[in-house]
Amino acid sequence: MSVTAARGFTAAGVAAGIKHNGGRDLALVVNDGPRRAAAGVFTSNRVRAAPVRWSRRALADGVIRAVVLNSGGANACTGPRGLQDACDTAERAAGRLGLAASDVAVCSTGLIGVPLPMDRVLAGVDDAVTRLSASGGQDAAIAVMTTDTVPKTAAVTRDSPRTGSGAGWTVGGMAKGAGMLAPGLATMLVVLTTDADVGAEALDRALRAATRVTFDRIDSDGCMSTNDTVLLLASGASGLTPEYEAFADAVRTVCEDLGRQLVRDAEGAGKEIRVEVVGAASEDDAVEVGRSVARNNLLKCAVHGEDPNWGRVLSAIGTTSAAFEPDRLRVAVNGVWVCENGSVGEDRSLVDMTGREVGITVDLAEGAESAVIWTNDLTADYVHENSEYSS
């Protein structure tokens, strides 16, 4: 599992003293090759953290050999000093590993607007280099956690159609993300690795195709981060080059798995809500409606209270520009069509919302397109957690 499931990668996660609680807070992932192709997607927030600006530049040539990640501080809104700190971090790792700093990506997560304690970060990089291991993926996944309650890792291994060999090729990865979780693109830190021999262009294509329908369709709290980064590194260590479709499918599977884990562990969440929009005239319409429903605080409170309040769904649909006629809308909650033709449908007392997963289906009755957006309920625990985060 995690970033060391694929061959050709080593990783470490250490306690550098960046977090006040003494936990692991600095991770290092190194691609030992023979290939070093890489792709990445980053937050579309116009306020970008220093590590995002650094890593975008490092990735421009399609080569990343190592990634340094820290929790305990986002290094966002930290001015020129923040960019210097990201650069110094990459240079320290590059120096210890015998690489060029321009081949080292940097990711940070934590509180915005607080400079990193660089003496600890740099000492942590030194420590992590000495602890690199082909079984270090779990430690790395732990070291990127902030308000996450569990580390998040995933991996799939596929046989090679050419060899039929059991060795095959693997896509694995780790993720963190608990609050400020609404993609635009991808609101979290994710590092994916593969030992498939895939060039930077195909990596980029597969990664964008995967994130578009996975991380981009999570909307836990409507708040877009300044630090979102998803990296995909390929070592080529399997010696296998899969068909593009098979590879893209594996990347999407891992992204979907990690994305579901992010929703399951979102701050204060008691339920996962699967908003499925069907009958849409276009996929864009389906995503717009799904996102509007997923962001509706009143509906999210209703789900928390196990109340199939479909009126709040309709009021959210009504704020979108999607094609629909109000008197043809249908809404089901956990399979019961409580709203038919924009009005009262089946008996709402038939709905059982006691389970942890709640499905809301919206039928726009306009076409054949659909989309699924994942979100959470809104709870008092979310309020408590986010009232006390920085103080």
DSSP 188: S
Collapsing DSSP states into helix, strand and coil, what is residue 218? strand
In whole angstroms, give the CA distance from residue 360 to residue 181. 20
Known catalytic residue: 187? yes
Stretch that binds its own copies, among 34-42, 109-117, 144-152, 201-209 (CB under 8 A): 109-117
Does the footprint of its own copies cover residue 161 (CB under 8 A)?
no
User: Quick one: 240 or 317, whose CB is closer to its own copies?
Assistant: 317
In whole angstroms, give the CA distance from residue 10 to residue 33. 10
Q: Which of 147, 187, 211, 375 is catalytic?
A: 187
Does the footprint of its own copies cover residue 209 (CB under 8 A)?
no
Does the footprint of its own copies cover residue 329 (CB under 8 A)?
yes
Q: How far is the CB of 209 from its own copies (least distance, A)?
A: 24
Q: How far is the CB of 27 from its own copies (least distance, A)?
A: 22
Does the footprint of its own copies cover residue 271 (CB under 8 A)?
no
- Choosing from 1, 97, 114, 209, the residue that interacts with its own copies (CB under 8 A) is 114
Does the footprint of its own copies cover residue 296 (CB under 8 A)?
yes
387 CB-near residues (< 8 Å, 6+ apart): none
Exposed e or buried b for every residue in 8-43, given b needs 16+ CB within 10 A? Answer: bbbbbbbbbbbbeeeebbbbbbbbeeebbbbbbbbb
Stretch that binds its own copies, among 61-69, 79-87, 99-107, 247-255 (CB under 8 A): 79-87
Stretch that binds its own copies, among 124-132, 247-255, 317-325, 356-364 (CB under 8 A): 317-325
Stretch that binds its own copies, among 41-49, 130-138, 139-147, 356-364 (CB under 8 A): 41-49
Indicate the Cα dihedral angle 78, 97, 144, 273, nearest 10°.
100
In whole angstroms, give the CA distance from residue 370 to residue 281. 9
135 CB-near residues (< 8 Å, 6+ apart): 4
In whole angstroms, give the CA distance from residue 257 to residue 152. 9
- Strand 169-176 and strand 152-158: pairing? antiparallel
User: Quick one: 281 or 314, whose CB is closer to its own copies?
Assistant: 314
Pattern 177-206, its own copies, x by CB under 8 A: --xx---x----------------------
Query: How many positions of this chain bind its own copies (CB under 8 A)?
Result: 68
Composition of the chain by helix, strand, coil, percent to 5 = 35, 25, 40
Name the residues annotated as catalytic: 187
Residues forming the site for its own copies (CB under 8 A): 45-48, 74, 76-79, 81-82, 111-115, 179-180, 184, 221-226, 295-298, 301-302, 304-307, 309-312, 314-320, 324, 326-327, 329, 339, 341-344, 378-380, 382-391
